[in-house]
């Protein structure tokens, strides 16, 4: 399952987040896969696409970072999957 994670850096401060990333890496539990990410130009928000079969793995990872980041999680599908799902309705 794919998840779009919206990360809002606490106090709008990316420095602690990037410092931890530099020092400790992503710290992903086995089974949770980083796909890609984008950061707003003001460096306050990150959008990450993650893949995992068990939502609890994502929740474990979020719990580890919640001291520095406020998270929102959205289950998503690819555009190709959306086309397949909607095709019978067209």
Q: Where are the domains of the chain?
A: 2-89
Distinct helix (H) and strand (E) counts, the chain: 3, 4
Q: pLDDT band at residue 14, thresholds of 50, 70 and 90? A: very high
Q: In whole angstroms, how far apart are CA 11 and each of 33, 43, 45, 81? A: 27, 11, 11, 36
Spatial contact of 11 and 23, defined as CB atoms under 8 Å apart: no
Q: Which CATH class name applies to 2-89?
A: alpha beta
Give the mean model confidence (pLDDT) for residues 36-40: 98
Global confidence as pTM: 0.90
Give the mean model confidence (pLDDT) for residues 42-59: 97
Residue 23: predicted pLDDT:
97
Residue 59: predicted pLDDT:
97
Spatial contact of 3 and 62, defined as CB atoms under 8 Å apart: no
């Amino acid at each position: 399952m794919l998840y779009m994670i919206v990360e809002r850096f606490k106090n709008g401060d990316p420095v602690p987040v990037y410092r931890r990333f530099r020092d400790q890496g992503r710290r992903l539990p086995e089974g949770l896969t980083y796909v890609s990410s984008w950061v707003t130009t003001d460096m306050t928000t990150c959008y990450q696409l993650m893949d995992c079969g068990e939502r609890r793995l994502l929740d474990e990872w979020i719990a580890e970072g919640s001291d520095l980041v406020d998270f929102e999680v959205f289950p998503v599908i690819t555009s190709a999957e959306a086309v397949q799902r909607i095709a019978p309705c067209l």
